[in-house]
A and B are shown apart, each in its own frame.
Chain A
Amino acid sequence: SQQGEEDPQALSIQEGENATMNCSYKTSINNLQWYRQNSGRGLVHLILIRSNEREKHSGRLRVTLDTSKKSSSLLITASRAADTASYFCATDEVGSTLGRLYFGRGTQLTVWP
């Protein structure tokens, strides 16, 4: 098994701009999940996309999944200063046990007012 890897490691943008983060993984998955972590806090689940889905939306979030390339992207539109946080992708791998997730190292997003 292999953790997802996010790219870029850090992203700095102005309010109102869109932020795109990418995640690559190496094994077959049941689903891929994106989480957000504010500094010093726990992770908050944002969105889950299943292996048979290609795109999913939730408010200002748009997630895509390309299982042939083993990659996913998270797009945050019209970013706000409050979106400043670390964003992690996590994979639920085929054959893994008991809801185990494999997390990447995250993308640190900074949104400047």
Chain B
Amino acid sequence: SQTIHQWPATLVQPVGSPLSLECTVEGTSNPNLYWYRQAAGRGLQLLFYSVGIGQISSEVPQNLSASRPQDRQFILSSKKLLLSDSGFYLCAWRPGTARGEPQHFGDGTRLSIL
């Protein structure tokens, strides 16, 4: 069966520090991968999605970047964190070749910027 892992679960970082959040999927090949941010009491905002190694699409201009160095690895990064980067970050995957399939989410990373 397929599983998705995100780490760390929580992170407290000072303003101006770098960031690296990692997401890996097991049990499938060539998945579509997604990074979302969820502000308190709000819905999910799609940040990035990827259909293959090295292929990244960005939904909104921001202080963050994403990379996909391996088929089942998706990394969210920042060189210098801002206060506004605080939030709950969720990684998700979906079978790459199937239409009309649901997305499957990791347990998220709670990021607090001080």
Known A-B contacts A48-B100, A98-B51; the reply to A105 vs B42 at CB < 8 A is yes
Q: Of A43, A99, A104, A106, which one neighbours B101 at CB under 8 angstroms?
A: A99
Known A-B contacts A40-B110, A104-B43; the reply to A48 vs B102 at CB < 8 A is yes
Chain B residues with a Cβ closer than 8 Å to the other chain, count? 25
Q: Contact size class for A?
A: 20 to 34
Number of A-B contacts (CB under 8 A): 57
Q: Which residues of chain B have C-beta atoms less than 8 A from A43's C-beta? A: 44, 90, 92, 103, 105
Contact A42 B43 (CB under 8 A): no
Q: Of A92, A99, A105, which one neighbours B43 at CB under 8 angstroms?
A: A105
Cβ-closest chain A residue relative to B44: A103
What are the 7 tightest A-B residue pairs by CB atom distance, in nearest-first order?
A42-B105, A45-B102, A105-B43, A103-B44, A103-B43, A43-B105, A99-B94
User: Interface of A with B (CB < 8 Å)?
Assistant: 3, 30-31, 33, 35, 40-45, 48, 50, 88, 90, 92, 97-101, 103-106
